[in-house]
Structure 1
Amino acid sequence: MMITKLTNKSLVTNDDLAYNMRIGLPIEVFCPSAQSTIAFGRIESFTGQQVYISGAEYCREKHLLFGLPAH
């Protein structure tokens, strides 16, 4: 399941994040060190380094982001 999610649902580019934000889809924030999902919700905003969900910021380099990639 995780390999499929990594290849098909990873949000890497700004276009991927903008697409999910524009259509209002929630994304999953996964922490590899804790090996668990630490957030799930709609993107409030994002920068090149951070994603903001439900008032909390998450580092894009330290977390895996899953959602619907832009095609």
Structure 2
Amino acid sequence: MFLTKLTDKSLVTNQDLAFNQRIGLPVEVYCSRQGTTLAFGKIEMYTDHFIYVSGRSYCRENHMFFGHPHLSA
């Protein structure tokens, strides 16, 4: 199931993030080091290096983000 999530629900591009933010869809912030979900909520803001969810910043390089990719919309 995790492999399916990686291929079908990963948010990688700014276009994916903008789509989820514009529609107000929640995203999951996952830490592969800990193997746990750290946050689940709407994207408040994003930059080239960080994504802000639920009042906290998460490094795009160190975390995985799952939601609804723009291309499959």
Under a length normalisation based on structure 1, what TM-score does the superposition of the two structures give? 0.99
Aligned residues: 71
Following the alignment from structure 1 to structure 2, what is the Cα–Cα distance between the partners of residues 62 and 33?
A: 9
Aligned to 1:46: 46
CA RMSD across the alignment? 0.4
Question: Which 4+ runs in 1 deviate beyond 4 A?
Answer: none
TM-score with structure 2 setting the length: 0.96
More helix by share: 2
Identity of aligned residues (%): 58
Q: Where do 5+ consecutive residues of structure 2 fail to align?
A: none
